[in-house]
A and B are shown apart, each in its own frame.
Chain A
Amino acid sequence: MTATPTAAAPFTTVIGLEVHVQLQTRTKLFCGCSTTFGAAPNTHVCPTCLGLPGSLPVMNRTAFELAVRAALALGCKIAPFTKWDRKNYFYPDLPKGYQISQFDLPFSSAGALEVVDPKGALSRNVRITRVHLEEDAGKSMHDEAAGTGDTRIDLNRAGTPLCEIVTEPDLRSPQEARAWLNELKLLLVYLGVSDCNMQEGSLRVDANVNLHIPSDGGRIAKTPIVEIKNMNSFRSVERALVYEAARQYEEWQATKAEMGKTPKQTRGWDDPAGVTRAQRHKEESSDYRYFPEPDLVPVTVSEEWLAATREAMGDPPSVLREKLAARWKIPAYDADVLVNQGRELVAYFEDLAERVGEGKVASNWMQQDVLRTLNERGGSIDAFPVRPAALAELIGRVAKGDFDTSRAREIFAEVLASGRTVDEVVASMGIAAVDDDELITLCRELLAANPRVVADVKGGKEQAAAGLIGQAKKKNPNVNPGKVRAMCLDLIRQM
């Protein structure tokens, strides 16, 4: 971590994020057009999102509710009165010539989202400056390769509801930024606010970054703030920030240029090349001529409505982690892993734990077997072929002593591979409970064949008995190793 300057990283990286998330509504923010991704260009459009003469916007209440849900979960204050503003600029993918957004009275402000690494390496409370709602623009596709200068416009996305979340510059490393984004994404997906699919553009991140460098006489030099755009994964965000911090440090060493002396720069992340590149200064000089949107009425939010929204919201991940750890007596680390996989996996786990009756045992199976297999196979937990009931049965039979855990894993793998039930697999693998008479006979044979082990145990080295278990399993794969060990020790004591 580079939270404090060290010899290896003689500066502090200061990062603030601006995140745009597309809200999971069926229809657009100000008209009834579908928000479904991937339709043929310009098929999800109407006079309003095309910006045709005379068309008017009408606010989508669901979008407002989802945005409020997000803001509440981020601990933001919700304004009792909020209005819409027009942000004016010309671009072909903005058919009205202005974007309906929120300027001086956003619907929410002053929240925070903490990022905590259960291993204890990270802990940062990141303040949220504001969360506001706005409409998305369409998409421009420049035909640069052909050199004809043709630009195609797809307005399907125009008018899609976006929630803009702006943080204070509270993050102190690229790793923290990535971890925080993971937490934010998890939260928004949990609340059903957004699917946060970065490939489809449902979540977009811009980062503002500069360095605080201790210099002569204890003074802190601050490098000019750079805004990084075009990062299309959280990994890209981390890489871009790492690169940019190094670049800024190098530049500072060469120029000693500090914040405020030059205008804020915008740089684009070139992922294949792994570098940021300066973009034109157009953004800095624009004057958006914001003014209140006269086609919409201000929105007032009542305390009752807020309370109902809060009620219907469900637990955010941070609360759910604590609840899971307490309810099932599992370590914080386990709860973190489970919650980070999403609501559906948590539901699977709770179903399993309920049936098994032991949270930690269920959690171990989740972490070691279910999650590993899920990662290998892909797909969602809801489509996972071994349902909680079957897995609970398997775990129950281990507890009963029918077979040991490693045998149970083989059964689990076979159930997954064949799609048969636990009973069928147990039968087909010839697994049968070994009765006590059979076990005594087996142990006697082993002791007779291993006088050295017997002597060692008698000499006080009980762990020597472990060598017998492998041999027992070779003779009969169905034996329970714990039982073999206990019985051998008993027999040696009687000798």
Chain B
Amino acid sequence: MQPSDMSAVDLVTAVRQGDLTALRATEAFLEQIERLDGQINAFLSVDRDGALRTAAAVDAKRKAGKTLGPLAGLPVAVKDALCTSDLPTTCASKMLAGFRPPYDAEVVARLRAADAVIVGKTNMDEFAMGGSNENSAFGPVHNPWDLTRAPGGSSGGSAACVAADMAPVAIGSDTGGSIRQPAGLCGITGLKPTYGRVSRRGLVAFASSLDQIGPMARSAADCALLLETIAGHDPGDATSLDLPVPAYGSDLERPLEGVRIGRVPAHFGAGLDPEVAHAVEEAFAAFRAAGATIIDIDMPHADAGVATYYLVAPCEASSNLARYDGAHYGHRAEPGKGHRAEPGKLQPAEPVSGQGNASGGFESALVEMYCRSRAEGFGPEVKRRIMLGTYALSAGYYDAYYAKALKVRRLIRQDYLDAFEKVDLIGGPVSATAAFKLGEKSGDPLAMYLVDLYTVCTNLAGVGGISFPCGFTKGGLPIGFQLQAPALAEPLLLRATDRYQHLTDWHRRRPAIAARPR
């Protein structure tokens, strides 16, 4: 069996038992990257030398009889929103092109400590803002199932590289669906953990109260393996939960008898593609067959989810992205270059003139440097969200927008608390359609925002969610199913998904492009 066909669980077992060297496993995935990534563009950087070095070190460690980490020899792709001290961290933005952080994100440090092999950094929507990966400053990712289609986003590179066997597992981040939606569109399994379960330290912030890092893999079992390493308290993240980490892989096989899964009839309204609706209903049937009870529930404030999300997230983003001002690091505009207005495009601010005091000259040059650095460094969607957030936080608008959004957020959170009185999990579609064409929605920001319809409420409520394939369209595109659970119920999310994956083989299907030439 090719290493690239093996599950992550089998890979680490094989390496630990000496049936497979870490070097050979790593080489296999690097070969696949070399063969395919020119077409898919899932990676922003590939660390061939570093990965081979790490793999060789793992093999040496094993030879020397030392204890191996739980992910020993496992190649991992990491979203480019996580800081890595040995690789650039760009967030797919021109603003951070070539930026190399002086430190590793907590999750990256945990991966290294677990003897994982980081193969590279994956493409994404710029600063994780988007649902198609078209907002990358370094070109879109192509969906391995159909290269003319989007892989979803923002963790599109992480989803695509796992789908195309370029890595067995990947790290993504999810602010409003950025793990689950691309996992759904690429036919893989992606988990957004409970807010605070995984440290955010070193994750370049988009919206701090919503961001959460999670595993992306081919199966629930592989997600469990990765989550066990990356979850846990970090004293360096004040929002990280100081609670023990369960052995996520140990309880997967318990049957689903007695588990109640909520179904929200409103999910099946207008806008849901009939093929997707059908596959999702089939998945409910499969869960019923596996012993679960399906109960229709109401989420009365879910309608307000997207509107709430598109206030909370841009408000936080407008502040989080203020640091990219050209003063200390990242892109800085060349001094003295004039601007010409481009019709129909977002324009840089007019240079602000001095106000007639001693420091006026400095002030105006400074403001001009800020304006131009940000105008040049950020892409249109990032600018749009910074402006939305800045506007909504401004004096006179705060109460009408941000404060109201926080109130609705509390109502949505309450919806979940009420629902989880009646059910253990909530099931439904991840997105309304299968993968859409590249360019299909990129001219219509509002249509793009609605892509997040089924996923944003999970983040607003701070609970966990998982997405996995539950069928294919007639055109051969994967369809995703989402389960959401109460806070810290990751063991149940993983168990339910694993049980489903024992009854079905949707998650085993690979796109044609991934098949190795004989």
Contact = CB atoms under 8 A, between A and B. Distances in A.
A59 B328 contact: no
A53 B319 contact: no
A95 B393 CA distance: 20
Interface stretch (A84-92, A194-202, A247-255, A451-459): A84-92
A54 B204 contact: yes
Contacts of A279: 357
A289 B208 contact: no
Interface in A305-354: none
A219 interface: no
A276 to B, nearest CB: 14
Nearest to B396: A287
A88 B101 contact: no
Interface string B163-200: 00000000000000000000000000000000000001
Interface string B90-116: 010000100101110100000000000
B237 A96 contact: no
B238 A57 contact: yes
Contacts of B467: none
A52 B102 contact: yes
A54 B325 CA distance: 16
Interface string A131-159: 00000000000101000010101000000
Contacts, number: 117
Contact of B102 (A47, A57, A151, A295): A47
Interface in A1-55: 47, 50-55
Nearest to A92: B327
Interface string B225-242: 000000000011111000
A225 B34 CA distance: 69
B315 A291 contact: yes
With most chain B CB atoms within 10 A of its CB, the pick from A47, A54, A95, A97 is A54
A295 B208 contact: yes
A151 to B, nearest CB: 6
Contact of B394 (A53, A92, A289, A297): A289
Nearest to A282: B355
Given A92-B366, A97-B325, A280-B355, A53 B236 contact: no
With most chain B CB atoms within 10 A of its CB, the pick from A56, A86, A282 is A56
A216 to B, nearest CB: 37
A296 interface: yes
A289 B83 CA distance: 28
B385 to A, nearest CB: 15
Nearest to B395: A287
A55 B328 contact: no
B357 A149 contact: no
A98 B319 contact: yes
Interface string B320-350: 0111010111000000000000000000000
A106 to B, nearest CB: 18
Contacts of B209: 294
Contacts of A280: 355-357, 360
B323 A95 contact: yes
Given A287-B395, A294-B316, A295-B238, A56 B201 contact: yes
Contacts of A142: 359, 362
B203 A54 contact: yes
B372 to A, nearest CB: 13
Contacts of B359: 142, 144
A281 B209 CA distance: 35
Contact of B358 (A52, A95, A144, A149): A144
Mostly, the B contact residues are loop
Contact of B83 (A54, A290, A291): A54
B393 A149 contact: no
Contacts of A53: 83, 89, 91, 96, 99, 101, 204-205, 323
A55 B99 CA distance: 15
B205 A50 contact: no
Contacts of A295: 205, 208, 238-239
A297 B239 contact: yes
A54 B105 contact: yes
A4 to B, nearest CB: 38
Given A97-B323, A280-B355, A295-B239, A52 B390 contact: no
Interface in A48-82: 50-59
A291 B238 contact: no
A185 to B, nearest CB: 30
Given A51-B328, A291-B402, A88 B319 contact: yes
Contacts of B360: 280
A86 B319 contact: yes
A54 B202 contact: yes
Contact of B362 (A151, A281, A282): A151
Contacts of A50: 328
Interface in A143-177: 144, 149, 151, 153
A356 to B, nearest CB: 53
A185 B419 CA distance: 56
Given A88-B322, A294-B208, A296-B238, A281 B328 contact: no
Nearest to A30: B238
With most chain B CB atoms within 10 A of its CB, the pick from A47, A51, A289, A296 is A289
A90 B374 CA distance: 12
A56 B237 contact: yes
Interface in B108-155: none
Nearest to A59: B238
Nearest to A150: B362
A315 B435 CA distance: 70
Nearest to B211: A294
A47 B365 CA distance: 27
A153 B327 contact: yes
Interface string A430-458: 00000000000000000000000000000
Contacts of A290: 393
5 contacts: A53-B83, A53-B323, A95-B323, A287-B394, A294-B239
Interface of A: 47, 50-59, 86, 88, 90, 92, 95-98, 142, 144, 149, 151, 153, 279-282, 287, 289-291, 294-297
Q: Please provide the 4 A-B residue pairs with the shortest distance between their CB atoms, ordered closest to farther.
A: A97-B322, A294-B208, A289-B393, A294-B209
Given A51-B323, A56-B237, A88-B322, 4 more contacts: A53-B205, A90-B367, A95-B327, A97-B323
